[in-house]
Homo-oligomer: A and B are copies of this chain.
Amino acid sequence: MLDWQEISQSLSHSLNRDISLRTPSSVRGGCINQAWKTHDQNGELYFIKSNTPSRLSMFEAEAEGLQAIENSQAIRSPKVFTTQQQATASYIVMEYIAMQSCSNMILLGQQLAAMHKQKRSRFGWHRDNTIGATPQSNQQHQDWVTFWCKERLVFQLNLAKHNGLSNKQYEDGLKLANNVSVFFDSYSPVASLLHGDLWGGNCSQDLTGNPVIYDPAVYFGDRETDLAMMELFGGFSSSCFDSYAEHYPIDEGYSTRKTLYNLYHILNHFNLFGGGYGTQAHGMIHRLLAEL
């Protein structure tokens, strides 16, 4: 049960003007959270997601991720106004953007390329966040292969072992992790600002045709990981990838590393949903081991 009056007060404080929210209506918010749309006395629209009180840090990480994307000035993402914890719920309030399915794929490719040109000296982020409902560890490293093995592949492998991945599958995964550097013999990724969870459900466009991305799992890493995930779950046309490559060329080794990078998300699917994803992950591990 959200205390809507308290949300109005919190918003008033954040925005430094008097906000009185009207009765909210429930809207789609994905698998994890409850979501509402509402407006204030001036007709300004707000989008609110809520969860249990313990999920406040998830919303705080989301808020900082959206802020990082906004700061890049490369692609639109919703502005965040406040995140708070109440007695029985935590919540995040952001601007409500009226959206439609993204059709402006050429512009999207261009804007993603611009976002990926935001760089840092180290891989990772200043805080952990979540990928789906799974914790995502972002401890910073100077070296991408170390980061990706430790914070990504081995992290999910350990979770998967706990969730029932067989010993053989786990051991093969560790063998891969120990040999990942092979895929970087002639390619040195830079630490780019990433969305981190760019599947088709996390991208739309506003009513004037500007692409909008949301629900990020932001960190600084190899931009190929965003591209690989975009291919994995669909929702993006070839004109998006062509446009991206025109503005920020892609290394030819990407086609092999794509499988490596998507292994993270398939292992995460195994950890979230179980079932056949363990077999799919093992198939990917096998294909990659054959490349060694």
Contacts and interface: CB of A to CB of B under 8 A. Distances in A.
Interface of A: 28, 30-31, 99-103, 105, 163-166, 169, 199-204, 234-237, 266, 269-270, 272-280, 282-283
A237 to B, nearest CB: 6
A99 B164 contact: yes
A105 B279 contact: yes
Contact of A30 (B30, B100, B234, B273): B273
Given A100-B164, A201-B269, A236-B279, 5 more contacts: A101-B270, A200-B275, A203-B276, A234-B266, A235-B275
Given A31-B31, A234-B280, A201 B275 contact: yes
Nearest to A105: B279
Given A274-B28, A275-B235, A200 B280 contact: yes
A270 B204 CA distance: 11
A231 B272 CA distance: 20
Contact of A101 (B105, B201, B204, B279): B279
Nearest to A273: B201
A169 B269 contact: no
A277 B235 CA distance: 5
Nearest to A108: B276
A203 B275 contact: yes
B203 A102 contact: no
A101 B236 contact: no
A65 B234 CA distance: 29
B200 A101 contact: no
A105 to B, nearest CB: 7
30 contacts: A28-B274, A30-B273, A31-B31, A99-B164, A99-B274, A100-B164, A100-B166, A101-B164, A101-B169, A101-B278, A102-B275, A102-B276, A102-B279, A103-B279, A200-B273, A200-B275, A200-B276, A200-B279, A201-B274, A201-B277, A204-B276, A234-B276, A234-B277, A234-B280, A235-B275, A235-B276, A235-B277, A235-B280, A236-B279, A237-B280
